[in-house]
Amino acid sequence: MAFGLSTLVWFLLLAISQPGTVQGRVVADFRECNSFFKDGNPPQGFENMGNLVRICQVYKNQYRFATLYRTDLRIPVYSAYKYQGNRRMVKGQRICNWCHEPQIDDPTASPAMIHSKKKASQKQAMVADYRKSGYEQGHLYPFDFNEGDDQRASFTLTNAIPMSGSANKKWYHYAEKFIKILAEKCQNNGSQMYVVTGSANYTGGSMSNKVAVPELIWSAACCTSSGSPVVHSSTLNTKLDFSIAYMKELLTNKNATRISVRQLQRKLNVTIFQQCRGTSQNDEVENNRLVNALLNEIPRPRLKRKRQSSCVAQSYILPRQSNSK
């Protein structure tokens, strides 16, 4: 059944010629899918990167997430999404059939994603590029946040970066899983969690077909209240608004590191959220206190060492807050 699934993607593409650029510059905006960005505002500071394509990812006539993609590197810069609800992964449910976007190579092609059987592309990664490379397709918009059609929509190579199996597992255990737990707490308070996950530092070499291997993966999350003053938490009785960020060096064996969104924005020299609690120096300390309290509520499970494929994720460990500036 998985082989019969297809994902629709609507490209908001306006091609214009730019003097002095190589192969032209494709530009667009996220107006039709700006609901995945807090206050409808995409991150700022990525505009000067070359060969950018903005993608509103659609499946079954419904927007699922948004992606900023670099065709020269053949990997995404970031994917932006909202936590949709308490989703639980069913054992054996993960789908490992990846698609690519025909419109990246040919803007006049069908917008429907197709399973990636093409051997090579000058503008995007293919499944063939990952074979025998030593790398896995690492989701930016996480598979584990979703179920059903949302899961299927995440399996586009425009939403994946090359990651070693070890790095992929550590990112899940030390970052992705905690963002999901905090997103559930955020939603239980009647608030909304906005997340942007991306790559950086594109000097880590490349796979076949010049697919870049980034040195860094990062994620920033903003929980914003919808007016409810009630926190469904055993230790907190204040309105639940907070932000949190993680990053991991992909070419080392280090675990993911928890930092503040303000620290991450300074490191990347971008603005991910224009407004969110904890993104300014004035409220950073109070935000960290709130996040620490929420994380301390998470029960620590007994860890089991089990072999797992790249299609399975399990157990987690509480990370420490980095004090780096």
Residues 122-157: tens digit of each pLDDT: 888 888 899 889 999 999 999 888 778 888 889 999
Residue 198: CB atoms within 10 A of its CB come to 27
> Was domain 2-296 assigned CATH 3.40.570.10?
yes
Rg (CA), the chain: 19
- Confidence at residue 111, expressed as pLDDT on a 0 to 100 scale: 58
- Confidence at residue 273, expressed as pLDDT on a 0 to 100 scale: 97
Q: Which residues contact 274 (CB under 8 A, 6 or more apart)?
A: 38, 39, 41, 44
Q: Is residue 195 predicted with pLDDT exceeding 90?
A: yes
Q: How far apart are CA 67 and CA 180, in angstroms?
A: 19
Q: How far apart are CA 199 and CA 78, in angstroms?
A: 6
Q: Is residue 54 predicted with pLDDT exceeding 50?
A: yes
Q: Percentage of the chain surpassing pLDDT 90?
A: 47
- Confidence at residue 240, expressed as pLDDT on a 0 to 100 scale: 77
Identify the burial level of 200 via C-beta atoms within 10 angstroms of its C-beta, where 0-12 means exposed, 13-18 middle and 19 or more buried: middle
Q: Percentage of the chain surpassing pLDDT 70?
A: 71
Mean pLDDT of 194-207: 93
Q: Is residue 37 predicted with pLDDT exceeding 90?
A: yes
Q: Which of 66-75, 101-110, 198-207, 315-324 has the lowest mean pLDDT?
A: 315-324
Model pTM?
0.80
* Average pLDDT value over all residues in the chain: 78
Q: Which residues contact 159 (CB under 8 A, 6 or more apart)?
A: 57, 65, 67, 76, 79, 139, 140, 141
The tally of CA atoms less than 13 A away on the side-chain side of residue 66 is 25
Q: Which of 100-104, 220-224, 226-230, 297-301 has the lowest mean pLDDT?
A: 226-230
Q: How far apart are CA 28 and CA 16, in angstroms?
A: 10
Q: Is residue 107 predicted with pLDDT exceeding 90?
A: no
- Confidence at residue 302, expressed as pLDDT on a 0 to 100 scale: 52
The angle that helices 284-296 and 177-188 make with each other, rounded to 10 degrees, is 100
Q: How far apart are CA 164 and CA 169, in angstroms?
A: 9
Confidence category of residue 234, pLDDT binned at 50, 70, 90? very low
Q: Which of 86-95, 247-256, 303-312 has the lowest mean pLDDT?
A: 303-312
User: Which of 229, 240, 265, 254 minimizes the C-alpha distance to 319?
Assistant: 254
Q: Which residues contact 27 (CB under 8 A, 6 or more apart)?
A: 14, 15, 16, 52, 54
Mean pLDDT of 170-185: 94
Q: How far apart are CA 260 and CA 266, in angstroms?
A: 10
Mean pLDDT of 277-290: 92
Mean pLDDT of 218-226: 91
Q: How far apart are CA 47 and CA 4, in angstroms?
A: 36
Q: How far apart are CA 193 and CA 176, in angstroms?
A: 13
Q: Which residues contact 172 (CB under 8 A, 6 or more apart)?
A: 144, 313
- Confidence at residue 85, expressed as pLDDT on a 0 to 100 scale: 73
